[in-house]
Structure 1
Amino acid sequence: MLHSMSALPHLSRIASVPVRDVWAHEAHHFTQWLLVNADVLSDVLGMDLELSEAERRVGGFALDLIGTDLQTGATVIVENQLEGTDHSHLGQLLTYAGGTDPATIVWCAAAFRDEHRAALDWLNEHTEEGVRFFGVEIAAVRIGDSPPAPLFRLVAQPNDWTKRVHTENAAAAGTRTPRQSAYEALWQLVLDQVHAKYPSWTSARAASRDSWITMPFGTSGAWYAFVCSGPRPRVELYFGSSDADENQAMFDRFLARREYLETGYGESLDFQPLPGRKACRIAAWGPEGYDVLDLSQHGAMAQWFLAAMDRFRTVTQEVRRAIGEE
């Protein structure tokens, strides 16, 4: 029996929008827009990216954007084009890399020529493991009469298999310890569960071999962390900008709301001013007895991390919003 035509859904069509109709000027419009909308680039790169400055001077030139991979603390640079790629911008990209020592180099353009995509692939294959080159194609679309929306697409990225081979070779050479391998396994489990249950928390997908991983807080100079450096795991809010006075001022504003934070979290919190250091932090501690080297405990550790961060994040975000409204 045929369904009536009236029962069929009415669907709009996606239509492309010329990028120059959205961002008329590369430096004044696109670069400035991307500076405050770094999450769009974060999603396509799969990292927690904080862009901190536009038009950074590098010698006699101006780098479009510079920022930080919040999970590793490494420098990220971005070069933009609102047209097809050209040799000039490839040269600029390498010049800026030489002047800023980044771990991640991103080239955004409206279209990539095959030879420039091949050049990024070559750089990914022949540079050291800690350096990554990305090509991101910029586009814009709309559905019906909706406002235009950005549509970014990766056209060049590190060769994960090659990087993995390098990593395995390094491990075979004895440069990766059993503890680093255990951290990597734990954080991969945590990240997989975060993306399944709380995808808004982070765009990062690569696990760290360190005793911590970080996630965005929502304001520059502060971030969340999962930490497993001893028998007691912890989640924390770390105020770690380069300005010690700024860190202390934000820490004090949270400290003034200690009762509210501890009530919302449901347990006591550890407020640490960290004398002698620029940074401050607020920590929530887990139970004793965990050993990261015991892989059988990783499931329980990941469960504690997610449950604790869910409560911790909820109440600290409430305080962040309250402070922002003052």
Structure 2
Amino acid sequence: MKLGQIEVVDPRSVWQHEERDFTPWLAENANMISEVIGIPIEIEQTEKYVGNFKLDILGKVENTDKVVVIENQLDESDHKHLGQLITYASGLNAAIIIWVTPVIRDEHKTAVEWLNDISSDEVSFFLLKPEVIRIDDSLPAIRFNLESGPSEFLREIREVTNGEDAPRHIFRKQFWSELFTYMAEKGDKSSKGRRTSKRSWIQFSVGKSGILVNACLAQNSKLRIELYLQDKLAEINTQYYHLLLENQEEIRNLFDREELIFDSMEGSKVCRLKIERSYDIQRSRDDEDYRSDDLFPWIHKNVELLKQVANNYLV
């Protein structure tokens, strides 16, 4: 059997101009994006003004009021488009944020992954790579590759579409509620009577503005506890971070065999000190003893240790 030769061609050989050619085509063929990310999108407007800037495509999740923003390029991803995307998303209170670009720089993929990591469950970022192909002398065709998106985003589709608590939200509420009860019984007064949450993280105060300890049900089956430096002024966060670095030997000694990670979060104004461990997600849902005898003691211990670090070196 004779097979044709696939050739990847420059998108500009199909769409010469981003605003006049690619954006209108993308809006008319948004179903192709919907198929890739699994979320039905209805397009409402192209070149939508947000302040002094113009969003390429504005839409909504089908049969909901959840806002979708799409920013598209024909060239390599750049800081300008990333900044615009975040500006549009915040200005329109978007739930689904999509960046379409044919050449993706590693730092921009990392940025999208980080945005998904820190965003609430109601907000999802997608990075799509359009690829124009031709087989021998055929007409060009386009396919979209999902380069980055929120973990388990198919579950998020149901959450966005019907607005109800997904199974993982119900589990989180139960998990955090049980943790608060456990910590209150161990003497943590701030956990007594505390309301639960469906978010993937919870926060603990250390008594100083801009410094928190977070407990997170993170991606890739990880539990993460972090001392999070989030003052409005980046230079203050950097100052705190360097104080921690200067005393890292003493700090590491507090954590015994645990691996403590100093994370400057380069490119962001926040910094953190974190500790992680793997856990069995399914067992954590089904096994009460696993939660109470293994996971909760680990979380409680490291939350208290990071509070101690904050009070010893920063507060």
TM-score by length of 1: 0.48
Matched, 1:21 2:24: no
5+ residue gaps, structure 1: 1-8, 177-326
Q: What is the CA-CA distance between 1:10 and the residue it aligns to?
A: 2.0
**Letter in structure 2 aligned against 1:121:** E
Q: What is the CA-CA distance between 1:49 and the residue it aligns to?
A: 1.1
2:172 paired residue number: 169
2:301 paired residue number: none
Q: Secondary structure at the match of 1:169?
A: helix
Which whole-Å deviations, capped at 9, do the CAs of 1:97-141 have from their partners, x for residues lacking one?
Answer: 111111000011011111110111011011100100000011100
Q: Secondary structure at the match of 1:76?
A: strand
Q: Superposition pairs for residues 85-124 of structure 1, below 5 Å?
A: 85-124=77-116
Verify the 8 A CA contact 1:50 1:69 in the aligned structure 2: yes
Q: What is the CA-CA distance between 1:165 and the residue it aligns to?
A: 5.5
Q: What is the CA-CA distance between 1:167 and the residue it aligns to?
A: 5.6
Structure 1 counterpart of 2:143, from 128, 134, 151: 151
Which whole-Å deviations, capped at 9, do the CAs of 1:160-195 have from their partners, x for residues lacking one?
Answer: 28978566203555778xxxxxxxxxxxxxxxxxxx
**1-structure distance, mates of 2:76, 2:138:** 26
Q: Superposition pairs for residues 1-326 of structure 1, below 5 Å?
A: 9-70=1-62, 72-160=64-152, 168-170=171-173, 172=175, 173=177
Verify the 8 A CA contact 2:172 2:197 in the aligned structure 1: no
Q: CA RMSD in A?
A: 2.2
Q: Secondary structure at the match of 2:7?
A: strand
Divergent runs of 4+, >6 A: 161-164
Q: Secondary structure at the match of 1:90?
A: helix
2:253 paired residue number: none
Q: Secondary structure at the match of 2:104?
A: coil
Q: Secondary structure at the match of 1:65?
A: strand
Q: What is the CA-CA distance between 1:45 and the residue it aligns to?
A: 1.1
Which whole-Å deviations, capped at 9, do the CAs of 1:26-79 have from their partners, x for residues lacking one?
Answer: 010000001111111111111111112100000000000010111543110000
Which whole-Å deviations, capped at 9, do the CAs of 1:259-285 have from their partners, x for residues lacking one?
Answer: xxxxxxxxxxxxxxxxxxxxxxxxxxx
**1-structure distance, mates of 2:174, 2:42:** 30
Q: Secondary structure at the match of 1:85?
A: coil
**2-structure distance, mates of 1:27, 1:97:** 19
Q: Percent identity?
A: 39
Equivalenced residue count is 168
Verify the 8 A CA contact 1:129 1:166 in the aligned structure 2: no
Residues 94 and 175 (structure 1), Cα distance of their counterparts in 2 relative to 1, 3 Å cut:
closer
**2-structure distance, mates of 1:60, 1:21:** 31
**1-structure distance, mates of 2:119, 2:145:** 23
**1-structure distance, mates of 2:174, 2:26:** 38
**2-structure distance, mates of 1:171, 1:107:** 35
Verify the 8 A CA contact 1:19 1:82 in the aligned structure 2: yes
Residues 53 and 166 (structure 1), Cα distance of their counterparts in 2 relative to 1, 3 Å cut:
same
Q: Secondary structure at the match of 1:130?
A: coil
**2-structure distance, mates of 1:121, 1:100:** 21
Q: Secondary structure at the match of 2:42?
A: strand
**2-structure distance, mates of 1:122, 1:167:** 24
TM-score by length of 2: 0.50
Verify the 8 A CA contact 1:47 1:71 in the aligned structure 2: no
**Letter in structure 1 aligned against 2:34:** S
**2-structure distance, mates of 1:170, 1:134:** 26
**1-structure distance, mates of 2:170, 2:103:** 32
